[in-house]
Each structure stands twice: as C-alpha cells, then as structure tokens.
Homo-oligomer: A and B are copies of this chain.
C-alpha cells in the first residue's frame, strides 16, 4: 500500500508540474514573459504560489522551461520542413516561410520567444536555440552545396545570417512598440512581408532572384 500511495503522489506531482507549465505558457502567449507573474500562474493553475516553488527552483527556471518547450516545437517544425522532398533551396524556402508565417500568426508568443527583453536565464536559452536553428540551416546549405543548388560558401556563417535575418525582420512587426502586441500584423500584408524576407534570405544564399 505504501508503494502505491507513493506512486499516486508521484503521478499527482507530475500532473501538477505539467499544469503549472501549461498555465505559465498560456500567460506568456497572452502577454509575453513580462506579464506572466508567478502569482497569476498559481491562480490559473489553482495551486498555492508555494507549490510552484516545490516544482521549480525559481521563477526564472519556470519561465526558462516554458521558453524551452515552446522553442523546441518551433525547432521541430523547421526540422520537419527541411525533411520534405525537394532540393535544399526549396526545403529552406519552405522552412523559412513556415517559420515566418507561424510567428506572424501568433505574434505575442513569437515576440516573447524571439525578442522580448527577458531575464538572462531565459536569454541564455534563447542563444542556445538560435544555435539549433543555425545548425539545421547549415546542414541544409551543405546539402545544397553538394547537390549544386547552392553555390560554394561558408555554410556556417550563411546559416547564422539566415537565423538573424528572419528573426530580426520579424521583430518590428511583432513588437509591442508598434501599436501593441500583434497590432501591426493586422495592418501589414503578412504574405507580402513573408515573401520579402524569404526572398532576401534565398538571394543571400544563392545570389540570384530565382
């Protein structure tokens, strides 16, 4: 009996942890990291604030995990796009287009992940994940150079140019400074913007307008 009780407690603990994470993510998606307070997370998850600190060493650790989970999904999406059929340029075009579209469709979350000023603990996660994107792009660029769809170049620096170009060009339209979260994405033509960014990126790689 003692064992089963412990198992039950373990399960409930794991469920609580998941619910806290899900609620924290919901708050970030609604208002960015700056509007997600531990007390709000606790209230939404229907647990005491103290309970949160039994699961996470600090507020920063909680939000670093929210960041990791959300970004992992984006990295996974890029990875899946790059695994589609087609030459490297077609696959990179798909990955970059989808990344930009997803960001513009969920502007608050994308702003939080890409550019919101955050605690250094979360910012350190951000640098790591930008490296993950760059590694995926670099692999595709190398494949393109092998198959001849992309001219010879330093695949490492080009891949980071891609990450920077797409992230930075999305920051403005997503920024709360431009009329509040996602306001700008209601007035700009999203398709035109995505095309413009992706064209810059592909031209940067290939030196042709395609």
Contact = CB atoms under 8 A, between A and B. Distances in A.
B117 A196 contact: no
Q: Is the interface of A mostly helix, strand, loop or mixed?
A: helix
Interface string A132-143: 001000000000
A200 interface: yes
Given A164-B165, A203-B204, 7 more contacts: A118-B120, A134-B172, A153-B200, A157-B196, A157-B200, A167-B168, A203-B203
Contacts of A200: 153, 157-158, 161, 204-205
A192 interface: yes
A2 interface: no
Interface stretch (A7-15, A22-30, A122-130): A122-130
B164 A168 contact: yes
Contact of A127 (B117, B154, B156, B160): B117
Which interface class (under 10, 10 to 19, 20 to 34, 35 or more) fits A?
35 or more
20 contacts: A34-B120, A115-B127, A117-B120, A127-B177, A153-B199, A154-B193, A157-B169, A157-B196, A157-B200, A161-B168, A161-B169, A161-B200, A164-B165, A164-B167, A165-B168, A165-B204, A201-B204, A203-B204, A203-B205, A204-B204
B117 A153 contact: no
Contacts of A193: 154, 157
Nearest to A124: B117
A169 B201 CA distance: 13
Interface in A164-204: 164-169, 171-172, 175, 177, 192-193, 196-197, 199-201, 203-204
